[in-house]
């Protein structure tokens, strides 16, 4: 298995899917000549031509709207929104059209579109460019929400997204683009949606994360083992819709404790949803209230130190775990 960075694994997935299925095409701001803000689509314009790799105007609602129309007409579009922050401008198209057409047409029309977005803080991009909105998209029925944490998952999940008949919101954490890992080069390598990944087995506490926060959780698990002798299980959800709650519940039944880690704000966030589901399904297995380690309840600061303070750290996770014992 070749080792590559997550951005290269994503490009591999796009390329393989374009080679496999000629209805797949790409649209977005600066994805062609420039190769994409995070260099994910570099070289694809040269290989596949302007018909299949389209640079668009700065008009997110328009791009997504065109994508929805193309998908309704039988193509398999991939729309790249430069960052998740700009997706607010396309929210009406995504929520009111892409997510609902199948339901409102009684199954006559579906929208097999992949919308990729870059998400997350930690890069000093300030309050308007550092959102973690995975939980927001997971709120809407009719969308699938995918958030990989590793190069291999990014490839397997993105290839899988092109084979889905629904709109898939594919969210990539900016801090993960440079992450290296072994990636299968098998063109049929797919990762099924709704299958959480147990990254590390443990017996004393379950740490649940997705996308960027998986890494804080994993580092916290190492610290807990080495410094406290506490054995933490780490679960990467991989997709929020569909959600593999069964894997989480099985783990909590074993460890009796759960800590959810996410970059998003705590108030009204996905960690709250997960916490409620654990309480509903595993109440009699809990030895402590479910804990949430989330971003601070402020717009993301620009100052580097303040930005670090606003994001959940592995130390925060360790502290939350120790409070349960």
Nearer to another protein, 72 or 288 (CB): 288
Which one of 17, 29, 129, 131 is the catalytic residue? 129
Min CB(325)–another protein separation in Å:
7
Min CB(260)–another protein separation in Å:
18
Among 57, 108, 141, 283, binds another protein (CB under 8 A): 283
Report if residue 224 touches another protein, rule: CB under 8 A. Answer: no
Nearer to another protein, 204 or 307 (CB): 204
Report if residue 280 touches another protein, rule: CB under 8 A. Answer: no
Report if residue 287 touches another protein, rule: CB under 8 A. Answer: yes
Min CB(287)–another protein separation in Å:
4
Total interface residues for another protein by CB under 8 A: 10
Report if residue 286 touches another protein, rule: CB under 8 A. Answer: yes
Tell me which stretch binds another protein (CB under 8 A): 111-119, 126-134, 157-165, 285-293. 285-293
Report if residue 285 touches another protein, rule: CB under 8 A. Answer: yes
Sign of the dihedral defined by the CA atoms of residues 131, 135, 136, 138, in that order: positive
Report if residue 281 touches another protein, rule: CB under 8 A. Answer: no
What's phi and psi for 31, nearest 5 deg?
-90, -15
The reply to whether 60 belongs to the active site is yes
Say if CB 204 and CB 178 are below 8 A apart: no
Which one of 16, 17, 29, 60 is the catalytic residue? 60
Min CB(221)–another protein separation in Å:
20
Report if residue 323 touches another protein, rule: CB under 8 A. Answer: yes
Report if residue 284 touches another protein, rule: CB under 8 A. Answer: yes
SS3 string, the chain, reads: CCEEEHHHHHHHHHHHHHHHCCCEEEEECCCCCCCCCCCCCCCHHHHHCCCCEEECCCCHHHHHHHHHHHHHCCCEEEEEECCHHHHHHHHHHHHHHHCCHHHHCCCCCCCCCEEEEEECCCCCCCHHHCCCCHHHHHCCCCCEEECCCCHHHHHHHHHHHCCCCCCEEEEEEHHHCCCEEECCCCCCCCCCCCCCEEEECCCCEEEEECCCHHHHHHHHHHHHHHHHCCCEEEEECCEEECCCHHHHHHHHHHHCCEEEEEEEECCCCHHHHHHHHHHHHHHHHCCCCCEEEEECCCCCCCCHHHHHHHCCCHHHHHHHHHCCC
Nearer to another protein, 84 or 282 (CB): 282
Report if residue 288 touches another protein, rule: CB under 8 A. Answer: yes
Report if residue 203 touches another protein, rule: CB under 8 A. Answer: no
The CA distances from residue 75 to 12, 168, 220, in Å, are: 20, 14, 44
Which residues in 237-276 contact another protein (CB under 8 A)?
256
The reply to whether 17 belongs to the active site is no
Nearer to another protein, 222 or 286 (CB): 286
Which residues in 47-86 contact another protein (CB under 8 A)?
none
Binding site for another protein (CB under 8 A): 256, 283-288, 323-325
Q: Which residues are catalytic?
A: 60, 129
């Amino acid at each position: 298995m070749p080792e590559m960075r997550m951005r290269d694994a994503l490009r591999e997935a796009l390329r393989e899917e374009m080679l496999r299925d000629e209805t797949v095409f790409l649209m977005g701001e600066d994805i062609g000549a420039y190769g994409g803000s995070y260099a994910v689509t570099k070289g694809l314009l040269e290989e596949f031509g302007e018909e299949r790799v389209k640079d668009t105007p700065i008009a997110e609602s328009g791009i997504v709207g065109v994508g929805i129309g193309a998908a309704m007409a039988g193509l398999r579009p991939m729309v790249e929104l430069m960052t998740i922050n700009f997706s607010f401008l396309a929210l009406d198209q995504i929520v009111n059209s892409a997510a609902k057409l199948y339901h409102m047409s009684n199954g006559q029309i579906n929208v097999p579109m992949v919308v990729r977005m870059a998400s997350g803080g930690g890069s000093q991009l300030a309050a308007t460019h550092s959102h973690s909105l995975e939980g927001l998209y997971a709120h809407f029925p009719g969308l699938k929400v995918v958030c990989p944490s590793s190069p291999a998952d990014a490839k397997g999940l993105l290839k899988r997204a092109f084979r889905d008949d629904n709109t898939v919101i594919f969210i990539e954490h900016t801090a993960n683009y440079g992450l290296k890992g072994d990636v299968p080069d098998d063109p049929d390598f797919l990762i099924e949606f709704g299958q959480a990944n147990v990254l590390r087995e443990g017996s004393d506490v379950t740490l649940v994360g997705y996308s960027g926060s998986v890494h804080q959780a994993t580092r916290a698990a190492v610290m807990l083992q080495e410094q406290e002798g506490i054995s933490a299980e780490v679960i990467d959800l991989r997709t929020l819709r569909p959600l593999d709650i069964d894997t989480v519940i099985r783990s909590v039944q074993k460890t009796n404790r759960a800590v959810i880690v996410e970059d998003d704000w705590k108030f009204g966030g996905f960690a709250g949803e997960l916490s409620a589901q654990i309480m509903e399904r595993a109440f009699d297995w809990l030895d402590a209230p479910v804990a949430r380690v989330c971003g601070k309840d402020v717009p993301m600061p620009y100052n580097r130190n303040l930005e670090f303070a606003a994001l959940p750290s592995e130390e925060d996770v360790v502290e939350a775990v120790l409070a349960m014992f």
